[in-house]
Amino acid sequence: MHASLIQRLLVLTVLTVLSGCASVKKMTAGRGVLCAEDWVSYDGKTMPWKSWPVPAGVTPRGVVITIHGLSGAKSDFWYLGEQLPLRGYAVYAYDLRGQGNDPVVAERGDISKATAWQRDLATFHALVKRRHPKTPVFWYGESLGSLIALHTAADLLGNRSDPNGIILASPVAGLRMTLSGFQRFMLETAAKLSPRSRYTLGELAGVDESKIKVTSHSTHGGQMAVTPHHVSAFSLRLLSTVGGMLDENTDSAHRLKMPVLFVASPNDVLSSADQIQALFAQIRSRDKKLLWYTRSYHLLLHDVQRKEVVYDVTHWLDRHIEAIRR
């Protein structure tokens, strides 16, 4: 195979998030264990977690479980953890398997299937519910975390243990770039032939990561240069797995029943405003809301409008807590 053809293939593989096909399965939570700093998921895998409790002597009004994005970590939600407990909401966060704080270094940048992420969330949710049995629990998923939250919530299908609502921050509603049928075929073939092959996003897309704007004042390359949990390369099967989740967005959106809040930016590097609006329109829940932050970019909690985001999220949570109590 000529070098030029290989290079073209690698450039295209960054878009494998559009390829693949995921089957819908009922999510079930394994028993799991919540320890002081680590937790054990449904399959015995141990991962780190963190919480920001409400002040001593205060009974939490609700609990918010956060799910981070690609190459992210639980620490990404420090601002929510700083602000929401002051408003009566405990915040929980855990590190995703296959990302930068995965205790198994060899598994960083890789995932076998989307249901692993989904069952992790379902299990962690069950553990938090056991700790707060009579307290409403909400999810806040950012970027990749929004995909995991969307599909897990859809697959729970009205079970009594469902979250009381989900917040999708910078939802990955699609990609600004598209693939032809032939390109999809080439990418699917590459993922099947060498599923664990890893490439940096810069190598795959042929772009300078230092120019990918993720906040109004920083780039992806700049952020990752100072981020200890940065994942430098991702496997083709991880990217294909995310692609399968994207392909199932519409079906999952149609099956959501709980309240849904979108917090998004029209400047998002991944999804266009039209794509986000289209996904929002597909949400079948009768209780849904979309809020735009026009001066911000992908990482809303790290940008210039983060106070507005927290204010709006708190107001939305308060309204639903009051509705639950009626």
Domain of residue 124 covers: 33-173+183-325
Q: Decide: helix, strand or coil at residue 3.
A: helix
At 129, which helix (H) or strand (E)? helix 114-131
Largest CA distance in the chain: 68
What does pTM read for this prediction? 0.87
| CATH code: domain of residue 105 | 3.40.50.1820
Q: Number of C-alpha atoms within 13 angstroms, CB side, residue 215?
A: 14
Question: Is residue 141 a part of any domain in this protein?
Answer: yes
Number of domains in the chain: 1
Question: Is residue 23 a part of any domain in this protein?
Answer: no
- pLDDT for residue 35 is more than 80: yes
| Alpha helix segments (H runs only) across 136-268 | 144-156, 181-193, 201-205, 220-225, 236-247, 249-255
Instruction: Convert the pLDDT of each residue in 122-149 to its tens digit.
Output: 999 999 999 999 999 999 999 999 999 9
Instruction: Convert the pLDDT of each residue in 64-107 to its tens digit.
Output: 999 999 999 999 999 999 999 999 999 999 999 999 999 999 99
pLDDT over 90, % of the chain: 66
Question: Is residue 3 a part of any domain in this protein?
Answer: no
Question: Is residue 10 a part of any domain in this protein?
Answer: no
Question: Is residue 9 a part of any domain in this protein?
Answer: no
Question: Is residue 204 a part of any domain in this protein?
Answer: yes
Question: Is residue 14 a part of any domain in this protein?
Answer: no
Question: Is residue 1 a part of any domain in this protein?
Answer: no
